[in-house]
Structure 1
Amino acid sequence: MADMAIENHAVIGGLRTTALVALNGSIDFLCWPRFDSPSVFASLLDPEAGEFSLAPALEGGRLTQFYVPDTNVLLTRRLSTEGVSEISDFMVPLPVDPVQRLIRRVKAVRGRVTYRLRCAPRFDYARVSHSIEQPEACQVIFRPDGPDLPPLRLCASVPLTIEGDAVVAEFALEQNDTATFTLDSEEAGENICLEPHRVAEAFKETSTYWRDWVAHSSYTGRWREHMTRSALALKLLTSAEYGSMVAAATFGLPEDPGGVRNWDYRYCWVRDSSFMVNAFMKMGYREEATAFIRWLHERRLAAKPGEARLRVLYGIDGRNIDFETDLDHFQGYRDSRPVRIGNGAEGQLQLDIIGEVMDAISLADEAFERLSHEEWISVAEAMDWLSVNWNQPDESIWEVRGGKRHFLFSRFMCWVALDRGIGIARRRSLPGRVALWRRERDAIYHDIHENFWNEDLGYFTQFKGGDAIDASCLLMPLMGFIGDHDPRWQSTLNAVGERLVDDSHVYRYEVKKGENHDGLTGTEGTFTMCSFWYVECLARSGDLLQARFLFEKMLSYANHAGLFSEEIGPAGEHLGNFPQAFTHLALIRAGLYLDQALSRAGRCN
């Protein structure tokens, strides 16, 4: 089961956690009960790290997997001459049901179909053992031996058999018959398992929830299917309980197969989440933006006295993530080790995050959610701090582990932060040291043009004093720092095309150059978020035909379910954690701008 490629998966979730479902019907990644909780199924990373397989005993045939339209309800089918099987997988969203459940329903669509089930959780990243209790034939409880680990209960409409430390079942369904399986915590629902008719109701309620959510979208353009799927993927990465958002659903999936670039993205990065807020707002979703901005404000209020900056990342509930640990017993996806949990970037200085936060806050404040008095005081304090500290080296957006530098990206995002703070103060007539902010904003502008522009090379360099180029510069016009047609920008955009672009794909930087060394061995795939940024930059520069051509090419790299990971390899394989918020939010941004630009240009399709 662990042999399925990253791209051969889809994701389900209920706004508390997510699970990956492979094309063969196996759930081979699930952290429970929250996104950042320990894994219970992780056979995608190690064959002994837990799985929940459910498969028809049909020879040959074809596997298909797709979502019920406009939902996150997943259907996995096997079609063969012997019969047709269908598995429905979903989690009931928190707003629909306070009880957290993963539900699997199988149906023999055609013919008589025999199924085999195996549920083998491995608690706490497969580090602790468990016992199994069977209060009745169709119900088992997996009870972990470690402390603070919730037990799991599996309820079924068919008899279950304990087999070692796993539970199995083999059963046959006649045509149109169904069987149901629900996974929840033992204390859920007062120890009452869902009857099959209640599972059918949950299917309808969950589908209705997602369709109603999609109906609030303001997007009606050319790429509705891709844009809607990206929005649904982003929504799955949000916490209904806290309002926070995770960068991706997984940990440990490699950027370089067989290499060491294997990170844990199940946490709330302030940068990524602020970009997500931007995408949600542009698609017409206000609730998600409001919830996250309030969550951010709570983090600021929880900061230590005198601590003016936000942390780089947090746990879903706002706790500090102050560790990075290797799971040495994990084999790793295609031998990619070490498999890490936690994230060492937490201790880094990343000055750019204030810029992303301020851009999101400014958009929300102008559109619908005016800052409260307390929120403005926090913003003003951050602006004061940044006015004094912007000229520091840091690790910046790519979280390099080769030492701090004066990175271009952080520098112009500091400009963005101060610019947005000034704009809010002016628009709302709010008090603050606006003259100081304006002076420092202008100083940053001059610093970038004097110290990051390389006249000989004809582009803005990755860091002060270097000669490398970095795809994060693509945000310069997108954030309003420089004009779309400014000669310096056009020259830089051409340099990105020459040095970082491979067909429609964009590398984030040249990892093989010693001066760009990020402190890690190996290489990586192309960074899909940067590819969509490049599309938007081309469109803004007026090259609509090329922008659309590359956009359509990039859409073709989505997997069968319309999902993207972080990176794309040389053969089109997905690399990095999956699904990745960065990629889907950049797709939305590029699609929105390109759609509008094509319409303005009079192109009807």
Structure 2
Amino acid sequence: MAHYPLIADHGLIGDMRSAALVATDGTVDWFCAPRFDSPSIFGALLDAERGGHFRTRPAAGDVTTRQLYLPDTAVLITRFLTQAGVGEVVDFMPIEPPEAGPDERHLVRMVRCVRGEMTFDIEIAPRFDYGRERFETHLNGHGVVFRGDRTAMTADLVREPGDERNARIWLDEGGDVHARLRLTAGEMRGVVLRTGYAGPVREVPVAEVRRLFDRTVAFWKTWLGRGTYSGRWREAVHRSAITLKLMTYAPTGALVAAPTAALPEQVGGERNWDYRYTWVRDASFSVYSLLGIGLTDEAAALGRWLRDRVDEQAAKDPSGPLKIMYRVDGSADLSEEILDHWSGYRGSAPVRIGNGAADQLQLDIYGEALDSVYVADRHGVAPGHEGWGSIRQLLDWVAENWSQPEEGIWETRGGRQDFTYGRLMCWVALDRGVRLATAHGRPAPVDHWRLQRDALYEEIMDRGWSPRRRAFRQHYATDVLDSALLRMPVVGFITPTDPMWLSTLEAMESELVTDSLVYRYDPAASPDGLRGAEGTFSLCTFSYVTALAAAGEADRARLTFEKMLTYANHLGLFSEEIGLSGEQLGNFPQAFTHLALIDAAIALDRCLDTARHP
């Protein structure tokens, strides 16, 4: 059976337009270019035999591998320890490399020996368009050009004059490139991949690559230095911030939910979704989280992206709902298809690209969007006249449509229901609209919005509450619990010490919490239209920390947070879910998880400070 690394055995590199995953064995097994949502160039993560890869590793001998980020950067170092010496592969994507075309992406692999000597084997085996596009390979002494009908990529060799005696390069019958490189301590060579570029190839001097490396390191250190977080968990928060930055599409400010597609929520199962898009929900939460650590430029860019989507909807059809997700450029075509020719990660089929949930009705996105506008306003970023006009149209739609059934936050495919969380966030949307209009004296049907807001409050308290469970429930036709409702006190709907809330929290702890990890809901008790099970949801675990902190449960919140950090991978990255044995599941890394980590750290810092100095 083909070898698949664990999902957690990867690091992420990127240039804020596309990203790549690098496994601990030195293999780039996921890379899409020129954008996050472009077809793959290397996709071995989803089909080890047909997906394509870029591998660099010692040629022989027993090897121990280690992986780390250069501190405070997105530069990834994979170390190989052998009896003969120690070698490293340093991977990064330069930020706006010089003389690069708009659709070119550069991926740099610096290969170096730091102790003793080491011989490296390099293999470049692209598979354009998810392995569906044929290509030709052209090799000369300075590098390689891979040319398909629609895609091109050039691999330039990094070396010094006279290196021919220590390296050789050849093609196999399938057009893949192989090289063998012998280095001694202090020597560095490598490869610069340029996607979207069909040559000519050139020999890249080592000094030029060092300059690219230095500029990339300086960019990340300078950028991170703008943040203001100085709490107890700086390393985890800073790594989360860098990870979120890596998943941000610089031209528009959009944040993808994850840079991967079709990684399973259950190995061998069918819950395999494409997350390379921007959800209104994720973008909204991002504004709050980024402002919380002082990254105002990124928060403002996301705010503009959200405003553009609202403006587009208002201009196109103010009587219709927002899409729940968009491509990074703001377009809404996310047609879902299945790659039948790919086997999926460890046999987890189907492999889906695109996302069929894009056309679902999810009412909660309005509350999340308006809450982000409200938070940004409190930080001095107020909507202008045209922006307010679009917001007003959006809220008028919410006021007239909040009572209809919907698919809910978890994008279930089991039919529409009256989800309590959707109603809660509609309450948030109208509440924030009333507050904004009142604070700034903006024209708005405030009385009508307030009337609908209050009607929502009464309905949630009446129909969203289960007298039998003594808890707020997932939707009105069930007594199933839903950890999305952990946000109830966070958004101000209920005080965190209200007996109804404390009873809900206790019920969730008994049903959804296992060793501090939190399930979204129980799919066996609440059919979601899909086969199989799933792991605990990392977002929900961090939301649980925030809820405990808000309730003043400082010790429990801190222990839960610290235990959750032990589930991070070796680089501090989190996927979407945690399986029964602690393995990471789902798309990786996931923005929502890292956003929730930041929020939980801020809330927990505040709770602990209050406990120390009441």
TM-score after normalising by structure 2: 0.95
Letter in 2 for 1:314: Y
Q: What is the SS of the residue equivalent to 2:612?
A: coil
Letter in 2 for 1:11: L
CA distance in 2, matches of 1:224, 1:241: 28
CA distance in 1, matches of 2:135, 2:367: 46
Identify which of 235, 247, 250 aligns with 1:240: 250
Question: How far off is 1:582 after superposition?
Answer: 0.9
Identify which of 374, 386, 390 aligns with 2:398: 386
Contact 2:376 2:382 (C-alpha < 8 Å) held by counterparts: yes
Identify which of 65, 77, 80 aligns with 1:75: 77
Q: Do the aligned partners of residues 544 and 432 (structure 1) sit closer, same or farther apart at CA in structure 2, a change above 3 Å counting?
A: same
Question: How far off is 1:294 after superposition?
Answer: 1.4
Q: What is the SS of the residue equivalent to 1:264?
A: coil
CA distance in 1, matches of 2:132, 2:187: 39
Q: Do the aligned partners of residues 603 and 306 (structure 1) sit closer, same or farther apart at CA in structure 2, a change above 3 Å counting?
A: closer
Question: How far off is 1:95 after superposition?
Answer: 8.6
Identify which of 415, 434, 438 aligns with 2:450: 438
The correspondence of residues 36-185 of structure 1 with structure 2, limited to 5 A, is: 36-47=37-48, 48-94=50-96, 100-134=105-139, 136-145=140-149, 149-157=150-158, 160-163=169-172, 164-185=174-195
Question: How far off is 1:137 after superposition?
Answer: 1.1
Contact 1:11 1:18 (C-alpha < 8 Å) held by counterparts: yes
Question: How far off is 1:439 after superposition?
Answer: 0.7
Deviation larger for 167-176 or 518-527:
167-176
Question: How far off is 1:198 after superposition?
Answer: 1.3
Deviation larger for 121-130 or 194-203:
194-203
- Does residue 309 of the first structure (1) align with residue 321 of the second (2)? yes
- Report sequence identity in percent: 45
| Structure 2: 5+ residue stretches without partners | 160-167
Letter in 2 for 1:9: H
The correspondence of residues 290-305 of structure 1 with structure 2, limited to 5 A, is: 290-303=300-313, 304-305=316-317
1:14-34 alpha-carbon deviations (Å, 9 max, x no partner): 000110000000000001110
Contact 2:145 2:198 (C-alpha < 8 Å) held by counterparts: no
Question: How far off is 1:276 after superposition?
Answer: 1.5
Q: What is the SS of the residue equivalent to 2:219?
A: helix
- Runs of 4 or more off by more than 6 Å in structure 1? 188-191
Q: Do the aligned partners of residues 42 and 307 (structure 1) sit closer, same or farther apart at CA in structure 2, a change above 3 Å counting?
A: farther
Which residue does the alignment assign to 2:584? 574
- Does residue 329 of the first structure (1) align with residue 341 of the second (2)? yes
CA distance in 2, matches of 1:194, 1:477: 57
Contact 2:143 2:201 (C-alpha < 8 Å) held by counterparts: no
Contact 1:15 1:239 (C-alpha < 8 Å) held by counterparts: yes
CA distance in 2, matches of 1:590, 1:363: 17
The correspondence of residues 501-540 of structure 1 with structure 2, limited to 5 A, is: 501-513=513-525, 516-540=526-550
Which residue does the alignment assign to 1:395? 407
Q: Do the aligned partners of residues 94 and 486 (structure 1) sit closer, same or farther apart at CA in structure 2, a change above 3 Å counting?
A: farther
Contact 1:452 1:465 (C-alpha < 8 Å) held by counterparts: no
Question: How far off is 1:297 after superposition?
Answer: 2.3
Letter in 2 for 1:489: W
Deviation larger for 181-190 or 30-39:
181-190
CA distance in 2, matches of 1:403, 1:527: 22
Which residue does the alignment assign to 2:14? 13
1:393-437 alpha-carbon deviations (Å, 9 max, x no partner): 001110010000000110000001111111111111111111111
The correspondence of residues 135-534 of structure 1 with structure 2, limited to 5 A, is: 136-145=140-149, 149-157=150-158, 160-163=169-172, 164-185=174-195, 187=197, 194-303=204-313, 304-513=316-525, 516-534=526-544
Deviation larger for 290-299 or 216-225:
290-299
Q: Do the aligned partners of residues 194 and 292 (structure 1) sit closer, same or farther apart at CA in structure 2, a change above 3 Å counting?
A: farther
Contact 1:96 1:206 (C-alpha < 8 Å) held by counterparts: no
CA distance in 2, matches of 1:519, 1:475: 25
Which residue does the alignment assign to 1:585? 595
**Number of corresponding residues:** 598
Contact 1:254 1:261 (C-alpha < 8 Å) held by counterparts: yes
CA distance in 1, matches of 2:128, 2:419: 41
CA distance in 2, matches of 1:325, 1:59: 43
CA distance in 2, matches of 1:273, 1:512: 30
Letter in 1 for 2:552: G
CA distance in 1, matches of 2:35, 2:346: 26
Question: How far off is 1:293 after superposition?
Answer: 1.6
Q: Do the aligned partners of residues 269 and 58 (structure 1) sit closer, same or farther apart at CA in structure 2, a change above 3 Å counting?
A: same
Which residue does the alignment assign to 2:606? 596
Question: How far off is 1:141 after superposition?
Answer: 1.1
1:301-351 alpha-carbon deviations (Å, 9 max, x no partner): 333233443211111111113411111111111111101000011110011
Q: What is the SS of the residue equivalent to 1:306?
A: coil
Q: What is the SS of the residue equivalent to 2:563?
A: helix
CA distance in 1, matches of 2:605, 2:97: 33
Question: How far off is 1:241 after superposition?
Answer: 1.1
CA distance in 1, matches of 2:100, 2:506: 52
Deviation larger for 564-573 or 297-306:
297-306
CA distance in 1, matches of 2:306, 2:26: 38
Q: Do the aligned partners of residues 124 and 464 (structure 1) sit closer, same or farther apart at CA in structure 2, a change above 3 Å counting?
A: same
Question: How far off is 1:249 after superposition?
Answer: 1.0
Q: What is the SS of the residue equivalent to 2:595?
A: helix
Deviation larger for 364-373 or 70-79:
364-373
Question: How far off is 1:446 after superposition?
Answer: 0.3
Q: Do the aligned partners of residues 150 and 258 (structure 1) sit closer, same or farther apart at CA in structure 2, a change above 3 Å counting?
A: same
Question: How far off is 1:226 after superposition?
Answer: 0.5
Q: What is the SS of the residue equivalent to 1:66?
A: strand
CA distance in 2, matches of 1:379, 1:188: 46
CA distance in 2, matches of 1:544, 1:399: 33
Which residue does the alignment assign to 2:162? none
CA distance in 2, matches of 1:529, 1:603: 29
Question: How far off is 1:189 after superposition?
Answer: 9.5
Question: How far off is 1:98 after superposition?
Answer: 5.4
CA distance in 1, matches of 2:198, 2:431: 49
Letter in 1 for 2:331: R
Question: How far off is 1:61 after superposition?
Answer: 3.7
CA distance in 2, matches of 1:225, 1:95: 28
Contact 1:321 1:343 (C-alpha < 8 Å) held by counterparts: no
Question: How far off is 1:93 after superposition?
Answer: 2.0
1:46-75 alpha-carbon deviations (Å, 9 max, x no partner): 011110001112422421100011000000
Question: How far off is 1:370 after superposition?
Answer: 1.5
Q: Do the aligned partners of residues 96 and 453 (structure 1) sit closer, same or farther apart at CA in structure 2, a change above 3 Å counting?
A: farther
Letter in 1 for 2:131: A
Question: How far off is 1:5 after superposition?
Answer: 0.5
CA distance in 2, matches of 1:34, 1:403: 33
Contact 2:78 2:88 (C-alpha < 8 Å) held by counterparts: yes
Question: How far off is 1:371 after superposition?
Answer: 0.8
Question: How far off is 1:478 after superposition?
Answer: 1.1
| Structure 1: 5+ residue stretches without partners | none
Q: Do the aligned partners of residues 95 and 372 (structure 1) sit closer, same or farther apart at CA in structure 2, a change above 3 Å counting?
A: farther
CA distance in 1, matches of 2:85, 2:60: 7
Contact 1:49 1:126 (C-alpha < 8 Å) held by counterparts: yes
Letter in 1 for 2:408: S
Question: How far off is 1:129 after superposition?
Answer: 1.1
